[in-house]
Each structure stands twice: as structure tokens, then as C-alpha cells.
Structure 1
Amino acid sequence: MRADEAIEARLKVRRQLWPARARTAATALCLLAMALPAGAQTPPPASPPAQAPAPTDSQPAPPPPAAVAPAPAQVPAPPKPAEGSTQAPAPGGQAGPVSPLPPTASPAPDSHGQTVFGGEGAVLSPVPVMTKGGQSSWDEGYDSIVAALNAIAGEMKRLGLSEAGQPMVVYTQSDDAGFEFEAQIPFSGATTAKPGEGVKLGASFNGKALRFQHKGSFSDMDDTYEQIANFLDARNIIALDNLYIEQYRTDPRTTAPDQLVVDILVPVR
């Protein structure tokens, strides 16, 4: 609007200048006419007044400025690009959706592994395991797990198989009274015989998971699970329902229950 006002102001000045120039020319002609009769009263001097309009008409100079006047009329064109520039932010606004693209990497497990007590993303590949299911109260949980692992080890030895990895415990159900679990020990070797004592052949979990580590006693593991729950909630990570895997870096069969090192694996979608 300031540019338009400046243009209009210039046009007003020009409109004021052209009549002023005309009046100046007319005044000069009148003075000339008055001077001529003083020397001699002849009709020809009267003709110069008749020619006075001619000078005003013969002044082609005014038309060129008039031609300049259309140019200012075209000056408003620059403001139109300015209006177009107001539309330029619209494409820039589309960059906003581009910034949410980083929010699209957050579901990947690997993007959440560096901030909470050594948690990290992992992709678990299945391995052959011998398994034994069971259930227990929380007070007897550790002893029940050790008993299941001992039963698996006994059947593995009977069948001529060898342990080929760290023992694991898969929790499938839990409540205030206790939990249901499946003890697992990876093995190597082959056999045609079937295991007994409730032991079965199977495979370990296959898929994405988040890995957290617990160090300390079995009873204090509840605190670690609470931190894991807070971690998942804070990042809107969806875990598979009722499925937690404990991989024992220290064998529960030979380690005191207050000196455990356990990787807690949380399968995620």
C-alpha cells in the first residue's frame, strides 16, 4: 500500500505541474501581447495571442510524461508478486509434514535402545531348544525355574544332546498370585527318541525385541520390569501381550539368586 500511495502522490504532483506550466506560458504570452501594442497598434500582434494556444498545443513535451504515467500503472504488478510470495509459505508449510517424517522412525526398535539402563533393539533368530512348562507362586518362582531347568538338562543328557546356549525363561501369564512360564535350553545334536518328564522339543522366539539388562537379585527384578513398563509407555511402544523372555547370562542352577545377570527381552510389534 505504501508503494501505491507513493505512485498516487507522484501522479498528483505531475497533475499539479502540468497546469502550472500552462499558466506560466499563458502569462508570458499576455506580457508579450501587452508589449507589442505599446510599439505599434497593428492587427498582426493580435495574431500572436491566437498563436498562444499553438505553443500550448505545440508543446509535445507533456505527452511524453503522459506516456510515463502508464508505466506507474504497471508498477502495481510488483505488489502482485508480493502477493504470490505470500503463497510461497504454503509450499514451505508442506515441509511441516516432512518434519513428522522423523516421528515415522520412532516405531523401529533400534531407535529406542540407547537411553534406558542399557536397553537396545534386537532381532532374535530361532534356535532349537528343549522346553518345559510350569507355574509357580512368586515366592517360589526362582526355585520353580531352577527345577524346570534341571529337568530339561536331565533329559538332554539322557538323549545325548548338548547344551548350546544360555538358559531362558519365557513368561506367558502372570497375576498377583503367580505366573506361568516355559523354561528353555538351546541344544545341539540329533536324536530319534522323544524326551519325557514333560520336556518337549521346540524353537526359541523369532522376531523383534527390546533388550534390557537386570543385575542383582531375583526378587528385585520387579523394579526393572517397572522401569521397562515406563519406558514403553513413554515411547508408545506396543509389546506383545503377556510375553517376556529372560535370558540368563549367569546360570540360575549354579548362581546365587542375589547375583544374577539377566537380559530381559520384550518382543514388540
Structure 2
Amino acid sequence: MRPSRLVATIAGFAAAAVLWQSGLAFAQAPGGTASPPAATTNPPAAPAPATPPAVTPPAATPPAASPPAATPPAAQAPAPATPPAAQAPAAPPPAAQAPDAPAGDGPFGEDVTLTAKTIVFVSGKATWDRAFEAIQEALKSVTAYLQKQNVTPVGPAMTIYTSTDDNGFSFRAGFPVAQAPSPAPTGDLAVGQSPAGKALKYVHRGSYDSMDATYEAITNQLDDKGLDAQDLFVEVYVTDPLTTPEDKLVIEVYVPLR
């Protein structure tokens, strides 16, 4: 109940009590007209003003403790950059190296002693771009002659390079025989002796066109050792150059020394 309405109710009860007392006195007065007795029921007592319950403010909940602000780590000085290691300048490409010799070939540049052999050969000249074809043609001519004479070679075919230049070479290609045929061959065919004496032996495996690398390695080795070679060299064909696939050739190269 709001306070203003509570005050108005109490004032109404007080006025009623005054009127009741005045009527009672008038009834008791002489000659007065008897009034019916008033109700004996006491007027209800004014209700005690309702005391509003005390409002208990909710207990303040302390705020949750906030975690302390993270202290940023002290700025660390960046590690000094490690300069890259100085790289050695690229080495120039090495000169042609001696190829690895397969088992049984011996060392590259083996010291040997050549023994002179009687050979039947064909002399000729050729350019480098058709060197192998020229050698094969010469060997075919010698083979035909020996078969006609019923002469059997006593060793593999060989080519003796008697002179060379940038454009081509002069050569003798033939087969060793036990003794010179009789009568002696004529025309391009001839009988002679193969080189003899101290020499260096090298082995080439593969096509004839790939022999450039082998000869370059031979030249480098002669220069490195300061060796004085004769102005000729000999190729001995371990595999038959007329029937063997070119990439399967095995050729021994002999460089006679002075």
C-alpha cells in the first residue's frame, strides 16, 4: 500500500468514532428519543500498515580476477646473419681423361715392346669423315688376295698410320702372315714389316667415330709425361672390323716411342 492511501484510511476511522459518541450522548439525554442501541460490535481496528519487507540488495559478486596481462617478452636482437661460405670458383672442365680400362685391358698407356711382323697390306689415303670405310675397303682387298693365294693370316688385322693432318691421313691396312707370298702382290697390294721397338699400348672399346676421345687422352698423357713418340701409330683390331657391329669394336692402339 502506498503511504498516501494509508493516511486517508486512518482519518476515516477517527471521524466515525466521534459520530458514535455523539449519538450515545443524545440518547441518554432526558426527553430524548431513545435510539436503538448501536451495534456493540467494536469497529474493526485499523489494520497495521504493512511494513514492506526490507529489500536486501544482492550480495555483490566480486568480479573474477582477471589474469595479469601477459608481459611481452623483451625484444630480442635478431641473430646476425651468417654470411654464406665463399664458394670456390667453378673449375675449368678437365682435359680428356684416360678411360677406365676393363679387366684384362691393362693400364692406360702400358709399356710394351713391339716385334716386327711380315704383313700384306694396301696403301691408301682418306679423309677423317670416311676413315673407317676406307680401312674396311682396304682390308677387304687384302682378304680377297690372301684367300686367292691360300694364305692364312697369323694375327688380327691392323692399320699403320704413316702420316696425318687436319684433313686426313695416309695408311697401310693389312694382315700379318707367316711369310711373304710368292709371287709378290702387285698394284695397291704390297708386303712389308710392321713397326718394332718400345711403345705404349692403349685399348679402345666402342665405335670408330668415338675414338677421338681416346686419341685426345693419349695425346694428353704423352704431353704430361714428356714422352717423344714417333710420327706414326698402329691400330690392331681385336674384333673383326669387317663383321663386328661398330659399337662393339675392340681396338688396341700402339704408339711407338723414339
- TM-score relative to the length of structure 2: 0.57
Matched, 1:250 2:239: yes
CA spacing shift, 1:190–1:184, aligned 2, 3 Å: closer
**Separation (CA, whole Å) in 2 of partners of 1:211 and 1:198:** 29
Structure 1 partner of 2:208:
218
Q: For each residue in 1:43-96, what CA deviation from the matched residue of structure 2 results, as whole angstroms up to 9, or x when unmatched?
A: xxxxxxxxxxxxxxxxxxxxxxxxxxxxxxxxxxxxxxxxxxxxxxxxxxxxxx
> 8 Å contact 2:180–2:191 — kept in the other structure?
no
SS of aligned partner of 2:177: strand
Shift of residue 161, structure 1, vs aligned partner: 1.2
Contact 2:162–2:233, Cα closer than 8 Å, also in 1: yes
* Whole-angstrom CA distance in 1 between matches of 2:178 and 2:143: 13
Q: Which has the higher helix share?
A: 1
Residue of structure 1 equivalent to 2:80: none
> Alignment partner of 1:194: what SS?
coil
Q: Give SS of 1:163's match.
A: coil
How far apart are 1:190 and its partner, in Å?
A: 5.8
State the distance in 2 between where 1:209 and 1:126 align.
12
Tell me the secondary structure at the aligned position of residue 258 of structure 1.
Answer: helix
Asked if structure 2 preserves the Cα contact closer than 8 Å seen for 1:151 and 1:197, the reply is: no
Residue number among 237, 245, 261 corresponding to 2:250 in the alignment: 261
Write the letter of the residue equivalent to 1:152: V
Which amino acid in the other structure matches residue 236 of structure 2? Q
Deviation at 1:118, TM superposition (A): 3.0
1:175 maps to: 165
Superposed CA RMSD in Å reads 1.6
- The separation in 1 between residues aligned to 2:144 and 2:187, in whole angstroms, is 9
Q: Which residue of 1 aligns with 2:117?
A: 127
Partner of residue 200, structure 1: 190
Q: What residue identity is the alignment partner of 1:170?
A: I
Q: Deviations over 1:22-41 (max 9, x none)?
A: xxxxxxxxxxxxxxxxxxxx
CA distance in 2, matches of 1:220, 1:160: 35
Q: CA deviation at 1:117?
A: 5.2
- Paired with 1:190 and 1:126, the residues of 2 have a C-alpha distance of 13
Of 126, 133, 142, the match for 1:143:
133
- In the alignment, what sits opposite 1:209? 199
> Which amino acid in 1 is paired with 2:123?
G
SS in 1 for 2:247: coil
Q: Does 1:159 align with 2:149?
A: yes
**Structure 1 residue ranges (4+ consecutive) displaced by more than 4 angstroms after TM superposition:** none
Whole-angstrom CA distance in 1 between matches of 2:206 and 2:107: 14
CA contact (8 A) 2:108 2:203 kept: yes
State the 1:191 CA deviation: 3.7
Residue correspondences, number: 153
- Cα deviation for residue 138 of structure 1 reads 1.2
Alpha-carbon contact 1:170-1:182 (below 8 Å) kept: yes
Contact 1:171 1:245 in 2 (8 A): yes
Instruction: State the SS of the aligned residue for 2:108.
Output: coil
Return the TM-score normalized by structure 1: 0.54
The Cα of 1:189 is off from its aligned counterpart by 5.2
- Output the CA distance in 2 between the equivalents of 1:260 and 1:183: 17
Shift of residue 197, structure 1, vs aligned partner: 4.1
Is the 2:118–2:180 contact (alpha carbons within 8 Å) kept by the matching residues of 1?
A: no
Deviation, 1:176, is 1.9
Please list, as runs of the form range in 1=range in 2, the aligned pairs for 1:94-133 lying within 5 A after superposition. 118-133=108-123
Q: Which has the larger radius of gyration?
A: 2
Classify 1:142/1:236 alpha carbon distance in 2 versus 1 (closer, same or farther; 3 Å): same
* Identity in percent: 37
- Measure how far apart 1:196 and its partner are: 3.0
Shift of residue 159, structure 1, vs aligned partner: 1.8
